[in-house]
A and B are shown apart, each in its own frame.
Chain A
Amino acid sequence: MDKTSKVFRWIDKRYDLGIVEHFAKEKRVPQFKGSFWYYFGGVSLFLFIVQVVTGILLLMYYQPGAQSAYESVRFIVTKVQFGWLIRSIHSWSANLMILSVVIHMFSVYFTKAFRTPRELTWYSGFILLALTLTFGFSGYLLPWNTLSYFATKVGTEIVGVVPIIGKPIMELLRNGSDVTTATLTRFFGLHVAVLPALFTVILGAHLLFIQVQGISEPESWKDLPESKKKHIPFFPNFVLRDILLWLIVLNVLAILAVFFRWELGHKADPFASAPTGIKPEWYFLFMFQSLKFFPAKLAMIDGEVFGISLFGIAGLLWFLVPLWDSKTSKGKRNKIINYVGIGVVLYIIILTVIGARS
């Protein structure tokens, strides 16, 4: 204890730890029946850390390239000590992270935590979700197997459908007019350099906003007197609960990674037919399934173009919810927000289920 305080004093003398100490003591978390949802931001952060660590480990052996991408991943899962575990954790953690981020987003949406003054937290969070999905999409190609090859072909083709800007973006992504090993190099660069850099900066801003403004209180507390509001200190109470949950998540991750190993599949062959029953990852399934329902032509416009434009507009509206939630500034209840949200959740769940079963 004496030594700790000595170290503490040494640093304190130079950097004034009083600010940190004061911050840690003052920060508190509202305690109510919906408090559970607060933990998903932390879980997402934890899974991101797992991704960074396992991703760096995979980089120690992975080699992008036509003759080496698939072979190096096969080498990792068959020859490297615990290589199969690291890769399996990376894949499972990616999926759980997307799930956790999506839950986090909906919980913020339904608790109206995006309202004034927290619009920027919402916007930055939405960008983080988009980056997370791009991470998933770009990382999926790196093992260069049949499924990833066709998923990338279809995924980038969908971008190309967008009028005017679609084609140039598609070629920029593919690093050419088709999906080749040049695409692999580009996706590798995106996945391990561009996206992590962007993500880290925006995540930093996202966390800073929360620290500056404090954690959003539930809507139902608006008219409550200060004495009726229950809080727990962020440090150590909330942090300890956070750590406990992180441990549980890590254990779940370990169980999934060990007992349900991520398959490597067959090496991509650009001149082979697409395998039957090919589907995108579950988080893109609802969009994939929706596009199937659009007819080939819809009032002079291609069904695809119509569907993708519709998703684009829906995404934009979702992003801009702090603007069209008209009662934001007044802090009133807005039932439309709830109806829209429930509709979106049901739509995603139903179409994902249909997509998974078809």
Chain B
Amino acid sequence: MVVPYDGKMSRRSFLDYLLGLGILAWLAAVLYPIIDYFKIPPQTEAAPSSVVAGSVKDFKPNTGKVFRFGNEPAILVDTPDGKLKAFTAVCTHLQCTVQYRPDMQKIWCACHGGVYDLNGRNVSGPPPRPLTEYDVTVKGEQIVVSKS
């Protein structure tokens, strides 16, 4: 029997609609925890604001050392004229870890040849920004690096 359309929803399409809604709600209930599961969990480890990078007697002019600063590498440079400088060791180009090149007297990134001067400025190669500089203080024998 063909029922003429009277502008009202038929019982069948109402049930179909309800079923579809149920399936959607169910899918959301299953997918929501799975998507949430991939959210980066809160880190309990607080980032330190200062760290001991080493001892004064271990450093000679025109050398550099990469050390751990919280969860990131940092670099301490003893410049050719004997000044201690510290920067983040994360290259501003694609996040590789930089190193000190005594032959160039510059900070250099091995990944794509980015070069920074001893003030952390990006002087050649692809890096778009300078390296963030940290404060260096000497307490007795210890070299303390802190975020300025």
Contact = CB atoms under 8 A, between A and B. Distances in A.
Interface of A: 57, 60, 75, 79-83, 85-86, 247, 250
A83 B34 CA distance: 9
6 contacts: A75-B41, A81-B41, A83-B41, A86-B33, A247-B26, A250-B30
Lowest 4 CB-CB distances: which A-B pairs, in order?
A82-B33, A81-B36, A79-B41, A82-B37
Contact of B41 (A57, A80, A250): A80
B5 interface: no
B33 A60 contact: no
A83 B37 contact: yes
A285 to B, nearest CB: 32
B39 A81 contact: yes
Contact of B37 (A75, A86, A247): A86
A250 B23 CA distance: 14
Contacts of B26: 247
Nearest to B36: A81
Contact of A57 (B37, B39, B42, B44): B37
B41 A60 contact: no
Interface in B16-64: 26, 30, 33-34, 36-39, 41-42, 44
Interface of B: 26, 30, 33-34, 36-39, 41-42, 44
**Which of A60, A79, A82, A83 has the most chain B CB within a 10 Å cutoff?**
A82
A36 to B, nearest CB: 24
A271 to B, nearest CB: 29
Nearest to B26: A247
A60 B38 contact: yes
A247 B22 CA distance: 12
Contacts of A86: 33-34, 37
Contacts of B38: 60
A195 to B, nearest CB: 23
B40 to A, nearest CB: 9
A85 B36 CA distance: 11
A86 to B, nearest CB: 6
Contacts of A250: 30
A82 B32 CA distance: 9
A62 B26 CA distance: 28
B41 A82 contact: no
Contacts of A80: 37, 41
A143 to B, nearest CB: 18
B33 A85 contact: yes
A253 to B, nearest CB: 11
B53 to A, nearest CB: 27
Contacts of A83: 37, 41
A86 B38 CA distance: 12
A60 B35 CA distance: 13
A319 B11 CA distance: 53
A324 to B, nearest CB: 45
Contacts of B37: 57, 60, 80-83, 86
B42 A79 contact: yes
B139 to A, nearest CB: 33
Contacts of B34: 57, 82, 86
A247 B26 CA distance: 9
A60 B44 CA distance: 19
Contacts of B39: 81
Contacts of B33: 81-82, 85-86
Nearest to A53: B34
Contacts of A85: 33
A80 B34 CA distance: 11
B54 to A, nearest CB: 27
Nearest to A54: B34
A79 B44 CA distance: 9
Contacts of B30: 250
A83 B38 CA distance: 9
Contacts of B36: 81-82
Given A57-B37, A80-B37, A81-B41, 19 more contacts: A57-B34, A60-B37, A60-B38, A75-B41, A79-B41, A79-B42, A80-B41, A81-B33, A81-B36, A81-B37, A81-B39, A82-B33, A82-B34, A82-B36, A83-B41, A85-B33, A86-B37, A247-B26, A250-B30
Nearest to B34: A57
A245 B30 CA distance: 16
B29 to A, nearest CB: 8
A57 to B, nearest CB: 6
Nearest to A58: B37
A75 B30 CA distance: 22
A81 B33 CA distance: 7
